[in-house]
């Protein structure tokens, strides 16, 4: 019997950059209108997996993803992928002058100079996604949409321009998530993600970073977002090299949890771009074995 193909709920509608990313992870794709809806499908079991954007090299973090991962039923990342993002401008065939240009805020922010130079009189309007903007153009609600190239395959619109970009080689990172379960095997090129709520005390963030540094764990990203509670209360999203199965990473994670009891594990998963981490595990393994022999009364 052939194993069923896992369904991936993704940030849609059809024709988003996220669809392009999700295609690399599987074939049974299920578009959802918003990021929380895509993640919600994985939470309820409507889909086994969810694919959402998390950060862009030009605009930074995708807040809807960050917030949704810190709250609600936990989900863990099992894979990531990085796409080069190039934008197309779609219009209605035979449409008139372009007075409004719709797109996802991350896309608009990446073509700001292009729009100023090429459509100086057009007003930019935020849409829930690049493909939602294409739908709005098809319905006559807006005159043009800044989209992923793949959107032209899905909507009866004309490609007015391709390769729009203020910054060449912009990249977006996407995550594949599911309910907590067996972790992906360590590959030697892994990333671990956590979100911590820092208690209000002097030096807590410095302590957290020191715990990583002391164990030779390389920090790859740190972002803060308000908890939406008291003004000035923040969560920190921390990514670092390594897999929780590695002793030094497991140790570091335990230390973070001691400093910040509200630490949520967001996954240990292979990096999209392989970067072999200089192995620093041998001394941790040897030291842990030495302690084990002492505990068992076999060493000193």
Ligand X SMILES: O=C(O)C(=O)Cc1ccccc1
Of 11, 17, 87, 174, the active-site residue reads 174
Contact residue for ligand X among 9, 18, 70, 79 (CB under 6 A): 18
Distant-in-sequence, close-in-space partners of 223: CB < 8 Å, separation ≥ 6: 60, 61, 66, 236, 237
Q: Is residue 16 near ligand X by the rule CB under 6 A?
A: yes
Q: Report the alpha-carbon distance of residue 21 to residue 175 in Å, rounded.
A: 9
Return the range that interacts with ligand X (CB under 6 A); candidates 64-72, 126-134, 234-242, 291-299: 126-134
Contact residue for ligand X among 43, 106, 264, 271 (CB under 6 A): 106
Q: Report the alpha-carbon distance of residue 104 to residue 18 in Å, rounded.
A: 12
Q: Is residue 65 near ligand X by the rule CB under 6 A?
A: no
Helix (H) or strand (E) holding 186: none
Q: Report the alpha-carbon distance of residue 116 to residue 102 in Å, rounded.
A: 14
Tell the smallest beta-carbon distance from residue 119 to ligand X (Å). 18
144 alpha-carbon distance from chain centroid:
27
Q: Is residue 155 near ligand X by the rule CB under 6 A?
A: no
Q: Report the alpha-carbon distance of residue 160 to residue 165 in Å, rounded.
A: 14
Based on CB atoms, which residue is closest to ligand X, 50 or 256? 50
Based on CB atoms, which residue is closest to ligand X, 107 or 252? 107
Asked if residues 240 and 224 have their Cβ atoms less than 8 Å apart, the reply is no
Of 16, 18, 147, 172, the active-site residue reads 172
Return the range that interacts with ligand X (CB under 6 A); candidates 11-19, 68-76, 215-223, 256-264: 11-19
Tokens representing 57? 């090299």
Based on CB atoms, which residue is closest to ligand X, 18 or 263? 18
Contact residue for ligand X among 8, 9, 11, 111 (CB under 6 A): 11
Based on CB atoms, which residue is closest to ligand X, 164 or 217? 164
Q: Is residue 172 near ligand X by the rule CB under 6 A?
A: yes
Based on CB atoms, which residue is closest to ligand X, 69 or 107? 107
- Looking only at the bridges linking them, the beta strands covering 171-178 and 234-241 are unpaired
Q: Report the alpha-carbon distance of residue 78 to residue 182 in Å, rounded.
A: 10
Distant-in-sequence, close-in-space partners of 74: CB < 8 Å, separation ≥ 6: 179, 180, 264, 265
Residues touching ligand X, count (CB under 6 A): 15
**Chain residues that interact with ligand X, rule: CB under 6 A:** 11, 16-18, 53, 56, 85, 104, 106-107, 129-131, 148, 172
As annotated, the active-site residues are 172, 174
């Amino acid at each position: 019997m052939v194993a069923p193909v896992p369904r991936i709920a993704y940030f849609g509608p059809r024709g988003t950059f996220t669809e392009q990313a999700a295609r690399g992870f599987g074939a049974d794709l299920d578009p959802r209108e918003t990021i929380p809806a895509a993640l919600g499908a994985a939470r309820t079991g409507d889909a086994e997996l969810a694919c959402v954007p998390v950060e862009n090299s030009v605009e930074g973090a995708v807040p809807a993803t960050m917030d949704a991962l810190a709250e609600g039923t936990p989900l863990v990342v099992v894979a990531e992928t990085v796409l080069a993002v190039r934008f197309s401008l779609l219009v209605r065939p035979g449409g008139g002058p372009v007075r409004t240009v719709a797109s996802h805020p991350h896309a608009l922010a990446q073509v700001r100079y292009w729009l100023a130079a090429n459509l100086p009189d057009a007003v930019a309007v935020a849409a829930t996604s690049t493909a939602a903007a294409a739908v709005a153009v098809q319905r006559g609600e807006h005159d043009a949409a800044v989209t992923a190239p793949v959107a032209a395959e899905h909507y009866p619109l004309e490609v007015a321009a391709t390769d729009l970009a203020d910054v060449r080689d912009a990249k977006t990172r996407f995550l594949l998530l599911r309910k907590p379960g067996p972790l992906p095997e360590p590959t030697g090129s892994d990333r671990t993600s956590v979100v911590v709520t820092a208690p209000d005390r002097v030096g807590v963030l410095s302590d957290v970073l020191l715990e990583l540094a002391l164990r030779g764990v390389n920090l790859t990203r740190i972002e803060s977002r308000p908890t939406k509670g008291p003004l000035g209360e923040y969560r920190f999203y921390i990514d670092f090299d390594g897999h929780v199965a590695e002793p030094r990473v497991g140790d570091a994670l335990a230390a973070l949890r001691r400093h910040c009891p509200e630490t949520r594990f967001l996954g240990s998963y292979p990096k999209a771009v392989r970067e072999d981490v200089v192995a620093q595990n041998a001394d941790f393994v040897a030291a842990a074995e030495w302690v084990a022999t002492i505990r068992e009364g076999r060493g000193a």
